[in-house]
Structure 1
Amino acid sequence: MSKLLKLITNNRKKSIILAASGVVLCAAVAGVLIHNNNNVKTEANKTVLTDGKKAETTTKTNEVASNKDKTQTETTTSKSEPQFVEQKFAGKTTEIVNFRDNPAETANVTKQLAKRTIVEVLGKQEVWYKVKYDSKEGWINSKYLIEYTADDKKADEEAARKQQEAAAAAQKSAEAAKAATNSNTSAKSTITTPATPAPEVKKGFKSPQLSNSSQVILITTSSMSSSYANIKFYQKSGEYWNLKTETNGRVGTSGLAYISNRMQSTNKTPAGVLGILSAFGVADNPGTKYSYANVTDDMYWDLNSGSATYNRLIHNNPGGDFEHLASYPTQYKYALVTDYNVNQTANKGGAIFVHINGSGGTAGCVSMPEAQMRELITWVDPGQNPKILIIPSSDLSKYWY
């Protein structure tokens, strides 16, 4: 009996130990599981935080890149827009130059300015000067324009003054010589016996080119290179030539060239005898006896050598080389058309007119003050075969006696 009780007691102890060991083992397993679960959550939280930071960093990087691209785009756009820089000075053209309505080689040409034309510079955009000429604004390529300095203006004024003084001195000398001749003749007549008078030499034009004319416009310069001229209107009455009007004017900026040698685009006025074909003007007909055309915006003078309408008035823009008459409202208020190169000889040029003064020398025409031009255009009469004689003063003896 005692053995049985001892056996039962020993078995119960083993059961208790096994049960306790199982409890401990379960607790250990549970602890391990809880620890591992916490580690998983921690890693997950770390992953979430890491991914969030990466996303935030990526977003900021994209924003910086976007702002950089935007800045570059704005900078590129800003650089592509040409800047206009305001400038104020007087300029002078160095060649015959196109006067355009916009700063581009493809822009419309509203007129052509002669070499040495004076303009008011308003500003610059890239290679283009914005200028004002004859009350109109336009654009000129900067490589054809230089500053017109105070010294340049002074030199031009001095040359004009000398020209006027020379003309006045020549006239005074001629009057003094005439007075001396009359005085000597009077003195001799008081002490000598009257004799048969010699035939009177009548002063006037002796050139055969002028023999059938009763009206002559005489234009003389001090030299072949001068652009300043003395202008006289002569009317023949019987056998005498009477001076009707005298004034000063301008010819080509490069002076004169004899008709036989004169070429296109040289800014030289043809020297010799010219006739008158017709008249035109921006203003209404002042009363000329010649056929008169009122200038309209579609009137052009074709200067394309070799063209069928070379040196002719046409009513459409021929392109190339031309004069748009309406672009010169001051000079062409009144104008006379000469017969220079009426036969359209290639490269001889054309559009040689007599018109009102502009701002300086001309591209080959003859100009004078408006009052004298109005007088001239209403005085000349095709029935009297008027001629225009353009010469340096050194040639006067060939045409006048």
Structure 2
Amino acid sequence: MEPGAPGGAAPSSDAGTAGRTPQDPSDPSPPTKSTPMAEPWRVPGVGNRLHQLIPETSRQVLAVYGDGEDSPDSTIVLYEKDEDDAWKKAGRWRGHNGREGWTVDHHEGDLRTPVGVFTLSDAGGVLDDPGTLLPYDQGKSYEVPKAWGEAHRHDFDYVIAVDYNRVRGTPPNDPTRPNGDEKGGGIWLHLDHGDGTSACVTLPEAGMEYLLRTLDPDQYPVVVMGNREVLKA
């Protein structure tokens, strides 16, 4: 939630998959079969520079593929390792990132989302815990200011903290920024409202619910995020 991080969403009407086609990018259900990857050990679209930052212990990777360096639009894909240590797609959604796109040197107020690999450790929101294994902090403190308007009312119904310039093991809205306020912070995964954010990454409500019920601390989940060109470098 970087302060004023409108990037959440009015909730979608259905958290399931009824009525959706298999090609629907908001469909959170795992695919039945896919074409085998040439390098199944590699997260698709992620080059050596970032891939080597993914912990060996991680068996869940959320990849955020930004459409362009200056674009607020992105595709979010959850990958999980199977019994052969191959990455398999477990969910895919369209969403948004910073209004001005992406940066490798994020600063407060630049309206860009930081590129990198970050752990996912803590969750919370306005609504009750939907059944997540992550530590979950529920309360009215996540309600958005009324000045943001009705379009953003549900932004923080569910949030997952991206461990960028924050203290792991604390609620997502803990304001502590170990690397200083100028480096920004409060960067979350949260509900999408249809356009860019101050720095957060957003998904439809069904996607957030799916992630909350699927991400497992014992699998050491991380997010790998950036625009497609920088991700594959």
Task: Note whether the superposition's TM-score is higher than 0.5.
Answer: yes
Following superposition of structure 1 onto structure 2, how do residues 99-118 of structure 1 map, counting pairs within 5 Å?
Answer: 112=4
2:155 maps to 1:331 = yes
2:37 maps to 1:204 = no
2:192 maps to 1:368 = no
Following superposition of structure 1 onto structure 2, how do residues 43-58 of structure 1 map, counting pairs within 5 Å?
Answer: none
Question: 1-side partners of 2:220 and 2:155: how far apart?
Answer: 25
**What's the secondary structure of 1:341's corresponding residue?**
coil
1:62-94, Cα deviation, whole Å (9 max, x unpaired): xxxxxxxxxxxxxxxxxxxxxxxxxxxxxxxxx
Contact 2:79 2:90 in 1 (8 A): yes
Contact 1:233 1:245 in 2 (8 A): yes
Q: Which has the higher helix share?
A: 1
Residue 221 (structure 1) shift: 1.4
2:222 maps to 1:387 = yes
2:53 maps to 1:218 = no
Q: In structure 2, do the counterparts of structure 1 residues 248 and 265 end up closer, same or farther at CA, with 3 Å as the change threshold?
A: same
Contact 1:280 1:292 in 2 (8 A): yes
Q: In structure 2, do the counterparts of structure 1 residues 249 and 201 end up closer, same or farther at CA, with 3 Å as the change threshold?
A: closer
Q: In structure 2, what is the equivalent of residue 244 of structure 1?
A: 90
2:132 maps to 1:284 = no
Relative to the length of structure 2, the TM-score reads 0.70
Question: 2-side partners of 1:203 and 1:224: how far apart?
Answer: 26
Question: 2-side partners of 1:357 and 1:338: how far apart?
Answer: 16
Q: In structure 2, what is the equivalent of residue 397 of structure 1?
A: 232
2:86 maps to 1:262 = no
Residue 293 (structure 1) shift: 1.0
Q: In structure 2, do the counterparts of structure 1 residues 215 and 112 end up closer, same or farther at CA, with 3 Å as the change threshold?
A: closer
RMSD: 2.7
Q: In structure 2, do the counterparts of structure 1 residues 275 and 201 end up closer, same or farther at CA, with 3 Å as the change threshold?
A: closer
Q: In structure 2, what is the equivalent of residue 92 of structure 1?
A: none
Relative to the length of structure 1, the TM-score reads 0.42
What is the one-letter code of the residue matched to 2:58? Answer: S
Contact 1:282 1:329 in 2 (8 A): no
**What's the secondary structure of 1:373's corresponding residue?**
helix
1:300-319, Cα deviation, whole Å (9 max, x unpaired): xxxxxxxxxxxxxxxxxxxx
1:136-181, Cα deviation, whole Å (9 max, x unpaired): xxxxxxxxxxxxxxxxxxxxxxxxxxxx9xxxxxxxxxx8xx79x9
The alignment of Structure 1 onto Structure 2 pairs a total of residues equal to 183
Contact 1:273 1:390 in 2 (8 A): yes
Q: In structure 2, do the counterparts of structure 1 residues 353 and 268 end up closer, same or farther at CA, with 3 Å as the change threshold?
A: same
Following superposition of structure 1 onto structure 2, how do residues 79-228 of structure 1 map, counting pairs within 5 Å?
Answer: 112=4, 201-205=39-43, 207-210=51-54, 211-228=56-73
Residue 113 (structure 1) shift: 6.8
1:237-293, Cα deviation, whole Å (9 max, x unpaired): 1321100111100001111111xx110011111111111131111111001111111
Q: 1:253 aligns with which of 99, 116, 123?
A: 99
Contact 1:219 1:391 in 2 (8 A): yes
Contact 1:295 1:326 in 2 (8 A): no
**What's the secondary structure of 2:232's corresponding residue?**
helix
Which one has a bigger Cα radius of gyration?
Answer: 1
Q: Unaligned stretches of 5+ in structure 2?
A: 11-22, 24-33, 146-151, 167-177
Q: Unaligned stretches of 5+ in structure 1?
A: 1-95, 97-110, 118-133, 135-163, 165-174, 182-199, 300-323
Question: 1-side partners of 2:197 and 2:91: how far apart?
Answer: 22
Question: 2-side partners of 1:349 and 1:396: how far apart?
Answer: 21
Identity of counterpart residues, as a percentage? 26
